[in-house]
Structure 1
Amino acid sequence: MRLTEFTELMYTEFGSVAAESMLRDHVFVEFDNRTGARALDDGVDPKAVWQAYCREFDVPRDRW
């Protein structure tokens, strides 16, 4: 997954303001207590970050 696709999915699912806040503020244990933005900056695959948000925020499986 490309970063542009990840961003589009985040904005579509959560709205741009909430998505930006979630990226900056929500910490994932599975990414060594990093935020989504930090994990992406550190090279974590955007697909893995997207799936982590989907699990954490109960996104229906058909939209993963």
Structure 2
Amino acid sequence: MRRSEFDRAVSDEFGPRGGALIADLVLSALGDRTAVEALAAGVPPREVWLALCAETDVPPERRYGAGRLEPKRR
């Protein structure tokens, strides 16, 4: 997962509150850091995404593949 895919997944899942969520919610799975802090410290976006999903009870079927663009059709 790229950072742009992380941002898209957060927006798709949490809508307008996504920005506040990643800035304010402390994730114990990431060493008691927020998602923003974890990303700044070099934690891979996919790891941050999965920790965020676990903390906010996002169903497993919405965790994987989130944030990816649909393939271009030829």
Could you list the runs of 5+ residues in structure 2 that have no partner in the other structure?
64-74
Larger Rg belongs to: 2
Aligned mates of 1:53, 1:28 — CA distance in 2: 7
Aligned mates of 1:55, 1:33 — CA distance in 2: 14
Q: Between the two proteins, what is the percent identity of the paired residues?
A: 40
Q: How many residues align?
A: 63
Higher relative contact order (CA 8 A, sep 6+): 2
Quote the RMSD (CA, aligned, Å): 0.8
With structure 2 as the length reference, what TM-score do the two structures score?
A: 0.80
Superposition misfits of 4+ residues, deviation over 2 angstroms? none
Aligned mates of 1:6, 1:45 — CA distance in 2: 10
- CA apart distance, 1:30: 1.8
